[in-house]
Amino acid sequence: METQVAVQWLLAFDKKIQENKTYLTDLDTPIGDGDHGANMARGMEFVRKALEEKPPKTAADALKLCAMQLLSHVGGASGPLYGSAFLGMSMHANDSLPDMLHCGLEQIQKRGHAELGEKTMVDFWGPAIEQLRNGELTCDSIKALVDATAPMRATKGRASYTGERSCGHIDPGAASSGMLFCALLEQGV
């Protein structure tokens, strides 16, 4: 990945997160503790500032910077999970995009131990990477994948405490992940 593409991707993700902070928090309210928007907005603001203060020289550096900021400034599940994902991707920044993203997913699963069907961000990343590999990923297909988490019953993370009541609500982490992938597509990759 080109350095500038990585930087612009992270800045575009930050913009979407800040614009959708309330939406993400609203998604996290019925099935969580209502902080996903605040968590991500806080983390990505640190990322934006760090990118401005010390412009990275490679895509790997940009992704690693993002990982470090999220790991050190975001509490809750999403900080360590996104942090691990970006760290994994930073180590494979020169692979093909699907391969790079797959390494991110592997780290999310290594950290969180979630499998497909447990209503987490994994349910977005898995099929989204497959669609990207097949040249089928679009912002519309991303929306459909995010929406597809709604009927699932949560068995990992905080949402699992709500059991059956988690059904019918979109997973907040899948929604923010959708923004990450949409921001990537916007870079014309």
Contact positions vs ligand ADP (CB under 6 A): 28, 32-33, 35-36, 39, 76-78, 81, 108, 112-114, 120-122, 156-158, 171-174
Measure the N-to-C terminal CA separation of the chain; round to a whole number of Å.
9
The DSSP code for 135 is T
19 Cβ contact partners less than 8 Å away, ≥ 6 residues apart: none
Which of Mg ion, ligand ADP, none lies near 104, with the C-beta cut-off 5 to 8 A by kind?
A: none
Nearer to Mg ion, 56 or 83 (CB): 83
Phi, psi of 136 (to 5 degrees): -110, 0
Nearer to Mg ion, 40 or 183 (CB): 40
Closest CB to ligand ADP belongs to which residue?
Answer: 173
Closest separation in Å from C-beta 100 to Mg ion: 27
The C-alpha atoms of residue 59 and residue 37 are separated, in whole angstroms, by 26
Number of Cβ within 10 Å of residue 170's Cβ equals 22
Nearer to ligand ADP, 42 or 48 (CB): 42
Q: Which two tokens stand for residue 141?
A: 């297909």
Nearer to ligand ADP, 69 or 120 (CB): 120
